[in-house]
Every structure is written in C-alpha cells, then in structure tokens.
Amino acid sequence: MGAKLQRGEGSADGCCAVSLYGISKTFGSVRANKNISLDIPAGTIHGIIGENGSGKSTLVSILYGFYGADGGRIRIFGNDLKIQSTAHAIAAGIGMVHQHFMLVPSFTVLENLVLGHEGSGGLLQGMARGRSELQGLSREYGLDVDPDAVVADLPVGIQQRVEILKALYRGARILILDEPTGVLTPQETDQLFNILRALNQQQGVTILFITHKLREIMALTHGVSIMRDGEMVAHRCTATTNPQELAELMVGRPVLLDGIWHQAKVGKVVLQVNNLALDGTRGMPLVRDLSFQVRAGEILGVAGVSGNGQSELLELLAGIGAPSRGSITLGEYTFTKTNPITPLVIKELGVAHVPEDRHAMGLVLPFSAAESAILGHEHSPIIGDGPWLNPGKLKAHCGQLMANFHIRPPDPKRQSRLFSGGNQQKMVLAREMSTNPTILLVGQPTRGVDIGAIEFIHQQLIALRDRGCAIIMVSVELDEILSLSDRIMVMSDGASMGIIERKDADARSIGLLMTGVD
Amino acid sequence: MERTLPPWVDMGLLPLINVLVVFVVTGIFIAIIGENPFSALTVMLKGAFIDKGALGYTLFYATNFIFTGLAVAVAFHAMLFNIGGEGQAMMGGLGLTMTALVLDPILPPFLVVLLAIPMATLMGALWGVIPGWLQAKRGSHVLITTIMFNFIASSIIVWLLAGPLIEPGQMSPQTRSFADGVQLAQLHTIFNTIGFSLPSSPLNVSFTLALGASFGVWLLLWRTRLGYIIRASGHSKRAALYAGYSPTGTIVITMAISGALAGLMALNEVLGVQERLTLNFTAGYGFTGIAVALMGRNHPVGILLASLLFGALYQGGAELDFQFQSITREIVLIVQGFIVLFSGALAHMFRPMLEKVFATAKPSHKDVSHDK
C-alpha cells in the first residue's frame, strides 16, 4: 500500500523514477560514461543492454553510489539528489542485486537480511523484528524462503531471491539487477522473471535490468536503452523493436544472428574418458565418474550451471592437475593418476587448450601481444634458434595471427591487457588454432566478448570442426551450446546427466538436466 | 579500466620524480639538523665525481650494487623475493677464497683466478638454490629462508675466520693474503700500462664484468626462452601452470642465477681489493641491492643508473662526513631509507597526477581497442 503512495509522489513530477542528465565518468584516460541521459518512468521494467565494456555497469554503479560521477545530475522520483555513497542510494529507495551475491554464506537467511540493520539494543529484538518483517515481505511479494536456512545450503536461484528480499527489506522502490541470469538455469531464470513481473505489476516496483542478452530484454522489459562505447546510443520501446535492431545498435553495424551450424562429418574416436573422477579438498567430489567419447569432426558441448565440475573436467583433460581415479585415452596413449597427462604432453599429441579464464591463464596481461602469442609455445622453432627468442620473428608470428583472426588494433607491441575482451579471446584462439590441433579444448569461448567477435569465433570453431578437429566446448551460455554442439553433455554436481544428440536438445530439456533432475 | 602512460613517462619521468623527492626530503632533513642542504649537495657531488680519484671510488662501490641489484631483479621477475644477497655474496667470497688458498701454492696466478671466479658463482648459486628448492618443495617462502640463510652464511664465515682459516700467528679474523698476482687487475694500472694516466682507485676488472653481467641479464630475460618462462611464471602462476612450466624448475633455476650474481659481488671486494677473506666484506651491499633493484625498476639499465647513484652516495657520503660536523656517514642510510620509501613503497604516488596531466594534454586520446 505504501508503494502506491510513493508512486503517487513520483508521478507528481512527470512519472520518472530515475532521471539522469549528462552523467560522465572517466577512469584515467578511459571515458567509461560520456554525457549519459536517461529517463525511467516509475512502475516500469527498463532494460539497459550493451556489450562488455560499454559502460553499463559503471552507470549503475554511479546510480547506486559506488562511484561519484565526474559530471551530471541524478533525480530520483523527481528530487535532485547527490548520491555519494550506497547509504544515500538506499535511503533514496534504490536497491541493487549484484552479479556476484553479497551474502555471508555461513549465515542464515534472516541473519543476512538484518545484517547492517540489527537496530539498537539486543540482537534478539532486531532478529525478531526482522523475522516478522521477512514474513510480511514474503507474503506480500510471494517470495518464499525459509528464514532459518543457511545461505550456503540454498540453490543459487533462492540465494538471488534473498538478495531481492534484502533490497526490499531496506525499502527499495527501485530495484537494479546487474546481469542477474548469468548463474541461473533456464527454469530459474523463468522464475526470476515471474517474480520481477509480480513485483512490478502488483507492488509498483521500478526495475532496472542490466544484461547483454537480447532474449531477456525482449521477454521482460517495457523499455530498453542501448549503450555502446560509454555512450547511450538509443532508447526503444520493447514492443516496437526486435532483436536484430537491438543487436545492430549494440554493435554499430549489421550482425548475423542466425545459426551457422551444419551437419558434421564425424570420424573415428580420438578421445576416450573412462570413469574419470576428481576429489576436491576434504574429499568433496568435484568430478564424478565421467565416461564419454569424442570423435574427430564433432563438437561436444558441455552444458551446466557454472561450478558443476565443467571447469575441473576441462583442466583434467588439459593436464592441469591429475585425476583421483579413472583414465583419459588419447590415440594409443592412456593417462591415469599415476601417469598423469601434462600440458606439454597434450601439445605433442595435438591437443590445444583455450582456457576458461583468459586473463589469468590464457594470456599474461602485462606482456606484449607478441609475447602472449607464444605462451605455452615458447619452444617453437619458428620464433628463434636454440635458446634464443628473436624479436623480429616474434613480431612477425604475432602479426600473422592478428591478420588471420582480424585482431584490432593489429599491434604486436601493445600490452595484452589493453585489448578488448573479444580481441584478447581471438588472440588465445588464434594461438591455439595455429597448430592445427586434432583436439581443441575450449572453455567459455565467448565470455565477455562482443557480439561481432562472437559471430567470428563461432565461425572459426565450426570451420575447425569441418577440418576434422574434435572440439570439447564448455560453456555456461546455453544459447551457445545449442547453436554449435553436435552432441551435448549436461553436468550437474560433477556428474554427467547424460549426453543428448543435437536433434533431441532444446533449452527446456537441457535446463531440467542442469538442475540434476532426470 | 586500464590506466596507461607513455612509456617514457612510466619508465623515465616517474622514477626521476621519485628520486627528486628523495633529494628534497633529504635536503629538508639536513636543513633541520642545521646545515645548508645546497652546500651539502655540492660537497657530495664534488666528493663523488670531481675530486681526484673520486669517480673511481664511486664506480667501485657501484660495481657491488650492480651485482646485488641484478641478483634481486632476476629473482623479482619470477616473483621471488631474494633478500639473501648478503649471504650469497659471503658464500661466493668463501668459495673463491677456498679455491685461492688451496690452489695458489701449486698453480700459476691467472689459472687460480680463472678457477676462483666460477667457484664464487657456484657457491652464491648454491646459497640461492637451497632456499629456492625449499620453497618449491616445502612451501617455505624464500623471503624468510633467504634472510635465515644470511645468518647461517655469516656464522659459517665467523667460525672459519676465527678458527680453521685464520692467518697463523695473527689475532684479526681474516685469512692469509693470496699469493702475488691472485687478484683482478685495477683499472688504473691497466690504463697506465697502455699510456693513459688515471688516478689511483680500487676500481678493477670486476666493473667491466658487472657491465657484462647487466647485458647478460637483459639478454637472458628478454631474448631467451628461459627468460620468457621466468617472466611469465612471475607474472601469472596460473598462466605458467597452463603453459606447462615446472614451478620447481623455474624457482630453482631463477634462484641459482640470482645467487650466482650476488656471489660475483665478492670478486670486486675480495679479489679486487682485499686479496684475502675478511669479516664483513659484504658490508650490507646485499641489502642495498634491494633498494637498487627497486629504484632501477628491475631493469638492467635502471639498475646501472641506480648503482651509480648509490655509489655516489657512498663515496660522497664519506666526504660529507669529513666536511660537516653534524653530518655523519649514516646520512647515506637515511637516503637509502627514503629511496625504499619513495621508489618502492610509494613508487606510484605521483602516477594519478601524471595520468591527469597526460590525459588532459591529449583530450582526443581514446581507448583504441574499440576502434573498428
């Protein structure tokens, strides 16, 4: 009921929950936000879409008081506000659900809820007040959670619900969600959208939804603003736009959204995994008893919610760490715990590896592009004789890779960290594909990569497959799995939930397997 | 959110500003104790560079710093903090002394020198490898173990010089002198024989070896596959794991090179001047090497310049001690402390300021990575 009143106050001044005028923010020499203006009508769900590095996270961080803007004004429900800290933002009725949850895992839901709002006097009083308010909120908003459950034991989707409750508990009338679906299964995403719609329609909460996924914008929002290179390039009403137009606005040129997959010519088995298992510290199984085969000329997609053993599987196959049990057979060689595979051995057997984390593993960020372009290949004779590295040959080698993969800017001397995510990823792919591998292990091929580069990378993967390479692709992007894979293995809690042929796979069936339900 | 400066600002201007701040703060300090900082500076510069023979002494001290600075820098590129230059230099000195004492009665002097030099590097390397191996295999951090190894080296030398190796019939803790000719020629004698007259100073062939070592370190780090592996492992453990480098191998090899460089410092003091092993010949040069490497930004060229500065401080500091009543040699330690503070701990203090200056100077500068 209070909600309606607050909305009334807002509507006295043009109905805008949030108005931004000329917001600018510079980090060093990088202009993250350039003169951004934005009006979000009260009581709507508004999306902000843009590629990685387009400045959308910076913008909401300014709105939530993490950074001060260099210039510009912020109006909340018609009132000019100086938001200098998150406390100001919360007082103004803004709540935020972060991409990475800000919960204390060992606390209960209730303890997390009252954290920072324990009230004066005894803790028991505060907790009791929190409990009754939590029950009220749960009833009012239809957000069911057990107040006494320990957060660490809850599924990710429920943890996110706790985050939303936390924001509402602090009186949020404007809810910001920053890339909220990255960690969710398709089913959990649907549930989240239902909750958000209910909050919006029944309680009048204004929702600001940040994402890089076109599908989510189309499914959820009323209006959408598109950012590119730190600038607000367009505003659209969701009902009158389409994914193609949004993609073009995001990238700044026409893009191909349709599938590029075609039937594979599958050869003989090149990789055989038998009963592979890995125990973590304290005996927690990370990978459980995996057995599968991969054939030349096919892409095996490994799907699953992040953190269900896919990363560990990829590293085991790449020879980073030894398995606890089971074996990996490459051609005529079999590797086990006592005879583990190593990164050097896989290279000799024609296996290339594009790691999930290109910043920590795939590149050495302070190195020049030319130096990063030989990581793991520094003994190659094409870059020098004997123990020497020849800078001229290094540069020429890198220049060749850059030309083949259209890496921008094509400057081998430029520091690896200064390239955009897409160009960094292309560099790793170019390096690993340059050896013409018989097996390619690739993790998150397009994480944090702009649409233009995604298109290019997908084409390269399919082309490599067509040349007879077996590809094992781990990705948390279900769309990517579905559009590229010939077969799909779904992992949940370290175990395989089954391998599905492409023709039998859809988001729903895979989503169900991802949750561990057979 | 990357922040970049033009390389000449990053590598040249910023360290220069840091050094200037050190001098300004030292000047304030000297003013506080009641002396004129400008006349102190004049005396110091004159004492370090202009007086007869001064430059030779400055370069002699610099030689020590080049070796110990390079030792710290090589280890640092693999993210290993070798604080053990002092002990490694002592063991290097012990290695070459033992070789000389055993062989100088039976072999011609130049052969003894030729064998003593590798022994100095080997013993220095050994004193680096043991802590390195302990870190690789046992997880004990070289930062701690190299410090402990300094104490062990020091105790070994004290024991040897007070007992087994002491010059017979003498009370002072030192060995007998090496046989005639078991030494590294001093540069002024070399120059005098070819007709150039140089004032007398202890500057010897070790200085040219130090210049060679600097070039060698540059070649190693930036022109060889091994150097690439060392630097990649230092920047990113995960990337090294991904690329398949053996962490044990990298640590042990790097510490061997680092220890060997520190061990070479003994050539300058023991074979260049003393011609016998004395107690405390390392005189803290191993520790000063840390400040030298910090200031030289772990690059051989920077280390040469920083060594020159420290050499000048040591030589000029002695002059200050003579000329001013209230200034003692310890002023050098104070300057050294400020250098660690401003070139090490606060090395990036002026970076945001410079970034602003260079961002406003070039308003059109954009992040080109987004260019189509």
Q: Give pLDDT tens digits for A460-479.
A: 999 999 999 999 999 988 88
Q: For residue B2, what is the nearest residue in chain A, using CA coordinates?
A: A418
Q: What is the DSSP letter of A384?
A: -
**B242 interfaces chain A, CB cutoff of 8 Å:** yes
**Looking at the domain assignment, is residue B357 inside a domain?**
no
Classify residue B19: in a domain, yes or no: no
Tokens of A78: 């018609």
CB proximity A251 to B under 8 Å: no
Number of structural domains found in chain B: 1
Q: Determine whether the interchain pair A378/B235 forms a contact, defined as Cβ–Cβ distance below 8 Å.
A: no
State the amino acid at position B179 in one-letter form. A
Instruction: Give which of A324, A300, A301 is closest to A312, Cα–Cα.
Output: A324
CA angle B138, B143, B145 (to 5 degrees): 55
What count of other Cβ atoms lies within 10 Å of the Cβ of residue A86?
14
Distance from CA of A320 to the nearest CA of B (A): 7
Q: Residue A442 has what pLDDT?
A: 97
Residue B234 in any domain: the answer is yes
**A335 forms bridges with which residues in the sheet?**
A328
Interface residue A34 vs chain B (CB under 8 A): no
Q: A411 and A369 in contact (C-beta within 8 Å)?
A: yes
Q: What are phi and psi of A67, to 5 degrees?
A: -120, 150
Q: Which of B224, B355, B372 sits opposite A28 (nearest CB)?
A: B355
Comparing CB atoms, the residue among B232, B244, B358 nearest residue A344 is: B244
State the smallest CA–CA distance between residue B302 and chain A in angstroms: 19
Q: In what order do the strands lie in the sheet with A269-279?
A: A285-295, A269-279, A325-330, A333-335
Of A396, A398, A356, A355, residue with least CA distance to A373: A398
> CB-CB: which of A229, A389, A409 is closest to B225?
A389
B237 to chain A nearest CA, in Å? 8
Report yes or no on B256 lying in a domain. yes
pLDDT value of position A4 = 37
- Residue B13 inside a domain? The answer is no
**ipTM rounded to 2 decimals:** 0.85
> Could A53 and B370 be called an inter-chain contact, meaning their C-beta atoms sit closer than 8 Å?
yes
d(CA A181, CA A276): 30
Nearest-CA distance B368 → chain A (Å): 7
Chain A touched by B235 (CB under 8 Å): yes
Total beta-carbon pairs less than 8 A apart between chain A and chain B? 110
Decide: residue B33, CB within 10 A, 0-12 exposed, 13-18 middle, 19+ buried. Answer: exposed
Q: Are the CB atoms for A180 and A212 separated by under 8 Å?
A: no
Among chain A residues, CA nearest to B244: A343
Written as tens digits, the pLDDT of chain B (372 aa) is: 344 677 788 778 888 899 899 999 999 999 998 889 999 999 999 999 999 989 999 999 999 999 999 999 999 999 999 999 999 999 999 999 999 999 999 999 999 999 999 999 999 999 999 999 999 999 999 999 999 999 999 999 999 999 899 999 888 999 999 999 999 999 999 999 988 888 889 999 999 999 999 999 999 999 999 999 999 999 999 999 999 999 999 999 999 999 999 999 999 999 999 999 999 999 999 999 999 998 898 999 999 999 999 999 999 988 888 888 888 888 888 888 898 898 888 888 888 888 878 765 544 444 433 433
Sign of the torsion formed by the C-alpha atoms of B116, B118, B120 and B126: negative
Give the residue among A270, A301, A304, A290 at the shortest CA–CA distance from A481.
A301
Closest-CA distance, A148 to chain B, in angstroms, reads 39
Q: What is the DSSP letter of B184?
A: P
Q: Inspect the interface and report whether the beta carbons of B224 and A417 lie closer than 8 Å.
A: no
Domains (ranges, CATH) in chain A?
Answer: 2-93+173-251 (3.40.50.300), 106-166 (no CATH), 256-350+437-518 (3.40.50.300), 361-435 (no CATH)
Distance from CA of B203 to the nearest CA of A (A): 33
Per the CB < 8 Å rule, is B370 touching A344? Answer: no
Question: What are A473's strand-pairing partners?
Answer: A301, A442
In a domain, B159, yes or no: yes
B141 interface with A at CB cutoff 8 Å: no
pLDDT at position A10, please? 37
Cα B23 to Cα B17: distance, rounded to the nearest angstrom: 10
What does residue B97 show for φ and ψ, rounded to 5 degrees?
A: -65, -45
Which residue in A has a C-alpha nearest to residue B224's C-alpha?
A388
Q: Say yes or no for a CB contact (<8 Å) between A26 and B359.
A: yes
- Please give the Cα distance from B167 to B278 (Å, whole number): 11
- Give the pairing type, strands A79-81 and A487-492: unpaired
Find the closest chain A residue to B368 by CA distance. A409
Tell whether B10 is covered by a domain: no
The closest alpha carbon to A165, from A144, A181, A191, A150, belongs to: A144
pLDDT given at position B366: 40
Contacts with B, A 59-88, CB within 8 Å:
none
- Domain assignment present for residue B36? The answer is no
Here the CATH number for the domain that contains residue B264 is 1.10.3470
Provide Rg for chain B, Cα atoms: 22
The CA distance from A269 to B164, in Å, is 71
Smallest Cβ–Cβ distance between A342 and the set B244, B359, B372 belongs to B244
Rounded to an integer, what distance in angstroms lies between the CA atom of residue B350 and that of residue B62? 28
Q: Where are the alpha helices (DSSP H) in chain B?
A: 7-8, 14-32, 37-45, 54-77, 85-103, 109-138, 142-162, 187-193, 206-223, 225-235, 237-243, 247-266, 285-295, 300-323, 331-339, 351-361
Structural domain span for residue B82 = 43-351
On whether any CB of chain A is under 8 Å from the CB of B372, the answer is yes
Q: Please state, in angstroms and rounded to a whole number, the distance separating the CA atoms of residues A404 and A407.
A: 8
pLDDT beneath 70, residues of chain A? 1-14, 28-29, 119-121, 256-258, 517-518
The β-bridge relationship of strands A487-492 and A299-303 is: parallel
Question: Measured between CA atoms, how close is B253 to chain A, in angstroms?
Answer: 15
What order do you get walking across the sheet with A94-97 strand by strand?
A: A94-97, A174-178, A206-211, A45-50, A223-228, A231-237
3-state secondary structure of A233: strand
pLDDT, residue A56, reads: 87
Q: Which residues of A touch B222 (CB under 8 A)?
A: 389
Task: Tell me the three state secondary structure of residue B132.
Answer: helix
Query: Are the Cβ atoms of A365 and B243 closer than 8 angstroms?
Result: no
